Amino acid sequence: MIQSNPQLKVAIRVRELVVGFGDSIVLDPEIVFLDEPTSGLDPIGAGDFDALVSVFHRTMKLTTFMVTHDLDSLRNVCSRVVAVAKSRIVASGGLEAMRLSQDPWVKAYFHGARGQTAFG
């Protein structure tokens, strides 16, 4: 039944993320690590999860270290970005620093078609 209903599958994934995130903050940590949290989510579910992360940051002063390729999440949630390519840090700073970076990988990533869609 779940396999034949993509909306149900996404709803279950969102619920798993929210429960997992809740479990990780129950002990009031200073930092939480998330690995590709919005992978497999539709844009609405990903946006809802980003909003949840932002609320916990504002209300609990929670720092979130998030590995993501989701440019919308970068734009909506992250105040600092570290770009890693070929196992090394190639740029770090805010989104504006990423846009201004002269590193070829960073330029391709942030100025490519997906970057243009996410950042306009």
Question: Is the CB of residue 84 less than 8 Å from the CB of residue 53?
Answer: no
Structural domain harbouring 120:
80-120
**b/e string for 23-41 if b means 16 or more Cβ within 10 A?**
eeeeeeeeebebeebbeeb
User: Are residues 52 and 35 part of one domain?
Assistant: yes
Site of tokens 């279950």: 12
Are 13 and 3 members of one domain? yes
Our count of domains for the chain comes to 2
pLDDT of residue 91 exceeding 70, the answer is yes
Buried b / exposed e along 78-106 (16+ C-beta atoms within 10 A): beebebeeeeeeebeeebeebeebeeeeb
Task: Supply the pTM of this predicted model.
Answer: 0.72
Same domain for 72 and 95?
A: no
Helix (H, G, I), strand (E, B) or coil at 57: helix
pLDDT tens for each residue of 38-57? 888 888 888 988 998 898 88
Q: What is the pLDDT of residues 100-116, one digit of tens each?
A: 999 999 999 888 887 77
Same domain, 42 and 84: no
